[in-house]
Amino acid sequence: MTFEYERTVTTSASPADVWALWRDVGSWHAWDPAVQEVALEGHFAEGAAGSMVLTSGTEVPFMLEIVEPGARFLDRLTMGDLVIRIDHEVRAAGDGAEVTVRTTITGPGAADIGPMVTQDTPLALEALTALAEGR
């Protein structure tokens, strides 16, 4: 079973300002309402692993599967048999940037948990771009 979700927003912030917030995992809680705390072992690079504590108190391991500095990263969270991949992409658009987040969930119950996992995405993107615009 697979669940997919995608959302794109535009911002007056530069791609570099958005990227700076993404690569600073210690600040994810400031713009993602679902995240309480993130710890990454090593640098923000492909293969780096860590753990994320969600606001529900659940601790989830994650790994950076793809990192294209300044443009894109994809993190994979594993929750039992569920695998959640969140692809983050930023690109120049006009005088700012276009930011896209794609979430793909696979495993039993993906269709049921998908809407819960992605419900805060619009708020997260709004907070992320507001912070990036303030840089």
CATH code for position 32: 3.30.530.20
pLDDT the model gives residue 36: 96
pLDDT the model gives residue 81: 94
Does the pLDDT of residue 135 top 90, yes or no?
no
- The pTM assigned to this predicted structure is 0.95
pLDDT the model gives residue 39: 96
pLDDT tens for residues 48-77? 999 999 999 999 999 999 999 999 999 999
Domains: count for the chain: 1
Rounded to 5 degrees, φ, ψ at 74 are: -130, 120
Structural domain span for residue 52 = 2-133
| Runs of H (alpha helix) within the chain | 15-23, 28-31, 110-118, 121-133
